[in-house]
Amino acid sequence: MTANDLKVEPIVASKQQQLELAKLEHFLNVFTEEMPILASKTGEQIELPEPVFRLIVQAVHQLAKGNGIIIETFHQPLTIWEAAGFLNIRWQDLEQLLDKGEIPFTPVGKFRRIQFEDVMAYQQKQEQLRQEALTEIIRISEESGLYSMQRAQADKLVNQPTE
């Protein structure tokens, strides 16, 4: 397969492949601290760049669960509409965030362009704030006797990874 042969199309694993992918997922989870090396049959080796490794881990996880995947590409910098789509908010709300300086942008003529890393940083910051607020609500509820769940159970729920 050459780079010219590649086209964006959905990828789905058969039931047999899902079993193999589950083993691969376990293997990848065990060795997350090390960057894997891709080796050819002739012995040539190259270390996988971190973004490629993350992509493989995510793809293997979804395929092992029986989900199909598709790789969607985007160009940088993002338009205001693309960035709003990633954040799942209205573009008008994103404009307000840009006006407040909460997300950096670059003016290009009468338009604004936003780096993907800045969109993701904002999203992670918002997720962290949500987690902190939820933890505080649980703490207050426990102190007032309104919340009977044990702290360990609550922490487990709060810190559950999202897919």
Domain ranges of the chain: 11-69, 78-149
Report how far residue 55's alpha carbon sits from residue 159's, in angstroms, rounded to the nearest whole number: 22
Does pTM surpass 0.95? no
Report how far residue 27's alpha carbon sits from residue 109's, in angstroms, rounded to the nearest whole number: 49
Hey, is 22 helix, strand or coil?
helix
Q: pLDDT per residue over 95-127, tens digit each? A: 999 999 999 999 999 999 999 999 999 999 999
Contact 130, 157 (CB under 8 A): no
Q: pLDDT per residue over 55-88, tens digit each? A: 999 999 999 999 999 988 878 899 999 999 999 9
